[in-house]
Structure 1
Amino acid sequence: MTRLSVRALSLSAAAAVLMLSAPALAATCQQGTFDTFLSAFGKEAAAKGVSARGLAALKGLTVDEKVLAADKRQHVFKQSFEEFSGRMISQSRLTKAAKLMQQHGATLKKVEQQFGVPGAMVVAIWGLETDYGVNQGKMSVVRSTATLAFDCRRTDRFQNELLEALRIIDKGDMTVEHMKGDWAGEIGQTQFLPSSYNKYAVDFDGDGKRDLVSSTPDVLASTANYLKGHGWQRGQGYGPNDPNFAAIKEWNKADVYARTIAAFAQRIDAQAKGGAGSDKRVENTLPAGKTVKR
């Protein structure tokens, strides 16, 4: 499966909820020029507390036609859990996961102590989202969210994400040049939207910044903090019939994707405990695959 297809599955499953939850902003989509829209948006952002450092990120922006094309390319996705997980949980990802579990073992132990989320779960999400940071995306998050905010199809959602992106810059966590991501504005090694970044990102390496692009400790801790913030219960299971599966569904509401995260984490955990990379008892709790439509 292509990277775009995976991200589109993630975005589309949560789109309705995000559109309902995002606060309305006053800037009007596609009325006048893009510059006019950005000017109105900048005034509103300033009224909401964004200072000159954050507002400067809006200067010189142009519509990114590649972002609009990617958004409009989304089509009906229909794939069973068996098909999707079979493609996503590759042997190469399992092998890399085993190495990373050892390499970052001390950090993962601290993360679990603080947030209650096992290292295998965090590493599973890391691997599925960006192949452990390899495929974070190279597009400007500010430009992408501004483009989608100007487009009227999901303007409320992306005006909110643009505002949150400016707040990240304003706080000093990232510069506009460093804030690169996928076409829909997800940032970093586990692909946080700006609103989630501001709410759940953690400075775990102690450098004074929450950097989910370059700091592995920040990435691992922030991913765990997101799950904790969505109801993760320390010491409980995370298969489809377990208490913590609901927290995984908050990470990604697509059932196929959430169940793939759980299955991948179980296999990583089995590897770490000296197994063959597969826990049949847990895998047998995964029900037959459903389909997802985007």
Structure 2
Amino acid sequence: MFRVFAGVLLSAIFALPAHAARCGGDFNSFVAAMSAEASAAGISQSVISQALDGVTEDAKVLQFDRRQRGTFDKTFEQYVSTRVGAGRIKAGRAMLLRHASLLSRIERQFGVPPQILVAIWGLESDFGKGDMGKMPVVRTLATLAHDCRRTELFQGELLAALKILQRGDLPLRDLVGAFAGEIGQTQFLPSSYIKYGVDFDGNGHVDLRHSVPDVLASTANLLHTAGWHPGGSYEEGSANFQVMREWNRATIYRKTIGYFADRLVGQ
């Protein structure tokens, strides 16, 4: 979801203090400062130690961050042809049928139509079967927070990731994701995970890696909170197309969501 890299730049769930950890310089000193910030934000010492003790910087994350900005340098036709083929449309229609009851309940509660949710799900992780990322989220976010390019954003995301651990939504072994710290089947940044995550299967945790009900309901909740108009158009220029900017700021990606959604319902 984050990239425009597919994504959304939401404000971090924690407000950073006036004297946030200073980016750059010695990495271990930065991690120590972030540990103090986490403690001040109410994260337990056991969670801080579990997550941050011995964490190291990841040069691959910085390399990816520097080169990813050309992701959408294609025409819509070029881009959509690589993302929405006959096989993915067929799989998406099967998902609409398999999860029809669940998607209906989600639409009643949040107002977002099934085909939009299934399109996003398919594009982000091939309906949970594709690559959700294998990067340790804490290490990724600590690396990006230490880098001075967007330190405030990623300091907030690192604190949110620790909050996910503290809530017990995911164990550290499952807190893995993509190159900007995105987590789960629809690739939520940790702050979005905290802000929009829904425990729709009722097990007491928001699990966006393994629980399809939680994944789809949380995705719908983000769009609902952003102002989705139930029953409205989502074509380019519509209010709902603008709402989808909170999912992904790239026009080409939002057009692809709409195109895929229409193919799923035979339009």
- The alignment's TM-score, normalised by the length of structure 1, stands at 0.84
For residues 22 and 246 of structure 1, do their structure 2 counterparts lie closer, same or farther at Cα, with a shift above 3 Å needed?
farther
Q: Does structure 1 residue 63 correspond to structure 2 residue 49? A: no
Distance in 1 of aligned mates of 2:46 and 2:82 = 43
Contact 2:5 2:68 in 1 (8 A): no
Q: Does structure 1 residue 156 correspond to structure 2 residue 152? A: yes
Contact 1:124 1:265 in 2 (8 A): yes
Give, in angstroms, the shift of residue 68 of structure 1: 1.4
Q: Does structure 1 residue 51 correspond to structure 2 residue 47? A: no
Contact 1:115 1:228 in 2 (8 A): yes
Distance in 2 of aligned mates of 1:183 and 1:22 = 23
Q: Does structure 1 residue 113 correspond to structure 2 residue 103? A: no
Within the candidate set 175, 184, 194, 1:188 is matched to: 184
Give the 3-state SS of the residue equivalent to 1:111 in structure 2.
helix
Q: Which runs of 5+ in 2 are unaligned?
A: none
For residues 14 and 199 of structure 1, do their structure 2 counterparts lie closer, same or farther at Cα, with a shift above 3 Å needed?
closer
Q: Does structure 1 residue 9 correspond to structure 2 residue 4? A: yes
Give, in angstroms, the shift of residue 9 of structure 1: 2.6
Distance in 2 of aligned mates of 1:39 and 1:239 = 48
More contact order relative to length (CA 8 Å, sep ≥ 6): 2
Q: CA RMSD in A?
A: 2.0
Contact 1:126 1:189 in 2 (8 A): yes
Q: Mean alpha-carbon deviation: is it higher for 243-252 or for 182-191?
A: 243-252
Corresponding residue number in structure 2 for 1:141: 137
1:254-286 deviations in Å (ceiling 9; x for gaps): 01001111111111122xxxxxxxx2xxxxxxx
Contact 1:22 1:157 in 2 (8 A): no
Corresponding residue number in structure 2 for 1:73: 67
For residues 7 and 159 of structure 1, do their structure 2 counterparts lie closer, same or farther at Cα, with a shift above 3 Å needed?
closer
Distance in 2 of aligned mates of 1:114 and 1:45 = 34
For residues 98 and 169 of structure 1, do their structure 2 counterparts lie closer, same or farther at Cα, with a shift above 3 Å needed?
same
Give, in angstroms, the shift of residue 54 of structure 1: 2.9
Q: Does structure 1 residue 169 correspond to structure 2 residue 162? A: no
Percentage of matched positions with identical amino acids: 46
Contact 2:2 2:188 in 1 (8 A): no
Distance in 1 of aligned mates of 2:46 and 2:216 = 28
Contact 2:118 2:261 in 1 (8 A): yes
Q: Does structure 1 residue 41 correspond to structure 2 residue 37? A: no
- Which amino acid counterpart does residue 219 of structure 1 have in structure 2? V
Distance in 2 of aligned mates of 1:120 and 1:10 = 23
Give, in angstroms, the shift of residue 75 of structure 1: 4.6
Corresponding residue number in structure 2 for 1:92: 87
Give the 3-state SS of the residue equivalent to 1:186 in structure 2.
coil
Contact 1:97 1:127 in 2 (8 A): yes
Q: Mean alpha-carbon deviation: is it higher for 194-203 or for 50-59?
A: 50-59
Corresponding residue number in structure 1 for 2:258: 262
Distance in 2 of aligned mates of 1:114 and 1:18 = 25
Give the 3-state SS of the residue equivalent to 2:230 in structure 1.
coil
Give, in angstroms, the shift of residue 22 of structure 1: 7.5
Distance in 1 of aligned mates of 2:45 and 2:214 = 26
Within the candidate set 14, 21, 24, 1:30 is matched to: 24
For residues 80 and 18 of structure 1, do their structure 2 counterparts lie closer, same or farther at Cα, with a shift above 3 Å needed?
farther
Q: Mean alpha-carbon deviation: is it higher for 219-228 or for 171-180?
A: 171-180
- Which amino acid counterpart does residue 116 of structure 1 have in structure 2? G
Corresponding residue number in structure 2 for 1:234: 230
Contact 2:4 2:249 in 1 (8 A): no
Distance in 2 of aligned mates of 1:14 and 1:102 = 29
1:97-124 deviations in Å (ceiling 9; x for gaps): 0111111111111111111111110000
Give, in angstroms, the shift of residue 132 of structure 1: 1.2
Distance in 1 of aligned mates of 2:239 and 2:137 = 34
- Which amino acid counterpart does residue 44 of structure 1 have in structure 2? E
Distance in 1 of aligned mates of 2:38 and 2:15 = 15
Q: Mean alpha-carbon deviation: is it higher for 143-152 or for 242-251?
A: 242-251
